[in-house]
């Protein structure tokens, strides 16, 4: 892995394309190795299978990073990492300088054994937390040990604008990138260390190993009063800016970022980018992860619904509730719990609803102390709102 100070912005000779997350994932699983003249690789195990690991020789701090980084890769895939003090599928060490990983392959191209080295000097300045470059390095190197290549065709060092093959090569999409969010001049995101496998990493590693589908299958809260487990609660609640991808396999789930007065964007759609707790572009929902509800704070917030039955709470401030998908045209009911006439807006996006949608085509009715807004078979319920208070100025059609 590159030293965090070694990659520098540079002026590109010509504009480069932006990759989809699927294209980035293919770079990680295939294209990097092909360009290196090496076979693609992964451990030959069933979905949710076992990989043995030995990190007993690391310092206490190194063991801390290795343990939690492996737990995050297990979250994504269901792989069971079993520790041993003898020979293992993945051997960890810290005696050599720098940070790197390599694999020995069997004749069929599958991984026989992988080796990860992160030197003690590499992690010496960081503490026992999951929001620093040392922890990010362990996630990155374990990605290599499992079969992932780099986000671009570079190895050791790279300059943005020269060595990247696509414009959006950055930590925001993949921990396997060499470029921070601020080194990358094509994306809008604040600097933040990577605290989980990112959205393209999830796609890539699941292409190699599948997913057991048993990560947080009950109702889960991410953020304030979190119930996502100690590691995710720590990552999301950390005061140091971090970027992370949420993976969730079931239940009725909530993003709760109510305890802040900063402006936020909470986008519930898969692979969409959110900005929470004062950090731009730091949260992404993984492909296949379905989050139903969102709670924001007292800033001027943007909350974007998905195609599920969403319960949305904007908090104080001038908030916009955005509907792109006409509730997937599936007769869904979305609820806004705290709509404020005169300060909040309900926004409909023409691309999905059609340019003919207008205020006059919405059907309003009082339901007790609430208001139901219906269009075709879909409804939005505004809780504790007077029907008489609503007019065209409460809506935006874009």
Q: Which residue has the tokens 């195990």?
A: 45
Closest CA to 189 of 172, 165, 164: 172
Task: Tell me the CB-side half-sphere exposure of residue 8, using CA atoms within 13 A.
Answer: 3
**Residue 141: active-site member:** yes
Residue 30 has a CB neighbour count (10 Å cut-off) of: 14
Hey, which residues does 160 pair with through a beta bridge? 9
Distance in angstroms (rounded) separating the CA atoms of residues 321 and 184: 30
Contact in structure between 82 and 50 (CB atoms under 8 Å): yes
| DSSP assignment string, 186-212 | SS-----EE-S--HHHHHHHHHHH---
- Residue 322 tokens, joined: 């955005």
User: CA of 229: how far to CAs of 133, 169, 226, 300, in Å?
Assistant: 22, 30, 8, 29
Contact in structure between 62 and 92 (CB atoms under 8 Å): yes
| DSSP assignment string, 29-47 | IIIHHHHHT---------T
Distance in angstroms (rounded) separating the CA atoms of residues 257 and 254: 10
- Residue 144 tokens, joined: 């290599």
Helix axes 60-77, 230-237, angle to 10 degrees: 100
Distance in angstroms (rounded) separating the CA atoms of residues 396 and 321: 10
**N-terminal to C-terminal alpha carbon distance within the chain:** 44
Q: Looking at 141, 270, 287, 383, which residue is catalytic?
A: 141
CA angle (71, 183, 284) in 5-degree steps: 40
| Phi, psi (rounded to 5 degrees) for 132 | -150, 170
Distance in angstroms (rounded) separating the CA atoms of residues 360 and 61: 63
Hey, which residues does 295 pair with through a beta bridge? 256, 313
Q: Which residue has the tokens 């002026």?
A: 11
Q: Which residue has the tokens 């770079």?
A: 27
Catalytic amino acids? 141
């Amino acid at each position: 892995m590159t030293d965090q100070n070694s990659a520098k912005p540079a002026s590109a000779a010509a504009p480069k394309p932006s990759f989809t997350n699927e294209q980035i994932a293919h770079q990680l699983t295939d294209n990097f190795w092909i360009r290196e003249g090496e076979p693609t690789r992964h451990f030959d195990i069933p979905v949710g299978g076992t990989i043995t690991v030995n990190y007993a020789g690391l310092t206490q701090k190194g063991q801390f990073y290795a343990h939690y980084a492996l737990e995050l890769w297990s979250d994504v895939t269901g792989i069971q990492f079993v520790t041993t003090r003898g020979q293992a599928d993945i051997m960890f060490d810290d005696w050599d300088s720098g940070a790197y990983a390599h694999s020995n392959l069997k004749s069929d191209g599958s991984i026989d054994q992988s080796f990860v080295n992160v030197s003690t000097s590499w992690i010496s300045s960081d503490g026992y937390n999951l929001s620093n470059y040392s922890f990010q390095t362990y996630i990155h190197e374990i990605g290599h040990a499992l079969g992932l290549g780099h986000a671009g065709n570079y190895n050791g060092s790279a300059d943005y604008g020269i060595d990247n093959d696509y414009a959006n090569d950055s930590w925001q999409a993949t921990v396997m990138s060499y470029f921070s969010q601020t080194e990358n001049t094509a994306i809008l995101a604040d600097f933040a260390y990577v605290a989980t496998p990112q959205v393209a990493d999830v796609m890539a590693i699941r292409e190699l190993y599948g997913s057991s589908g048993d990560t947080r299958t009950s109702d889960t809260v991410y953020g304030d009063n979190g119930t996502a487990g100690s590691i995710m609660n720590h990552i999301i609640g950390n005061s140091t800016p971090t970027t992370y991808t949420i993976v969730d396999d079931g239940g009725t789930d909530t993003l709760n970022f109510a305890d802040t007065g900063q402006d936020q964007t909470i986008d519930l759609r898969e692979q969409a980018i959110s900005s929470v707790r004062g950090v731009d572009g730091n949260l992404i929902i993984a492909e296949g992860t379905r989050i139903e509800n969102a709670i924001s704070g007292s800033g001027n917030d943007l909350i974007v619904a998905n195609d599920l039955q969403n319960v949305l709470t904007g908090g104080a401030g001038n908030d916009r509730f955005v509907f792109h998908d006409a509730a997937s045209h599936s007769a869904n009911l979305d609820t806004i719990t705290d709509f404020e006439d005169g300060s909040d807006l309900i926004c409909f996006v023409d691309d999905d609803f059609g340019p003919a949608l207008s205020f006059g085509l919405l059907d309003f009715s009082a339901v007790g102390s609430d208001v139901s807004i219906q269009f075709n078979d879909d409804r939005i319920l505004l809780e504790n709102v007077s029907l008489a208070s609503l007019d065209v100025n409460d809506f935006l059609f874009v």
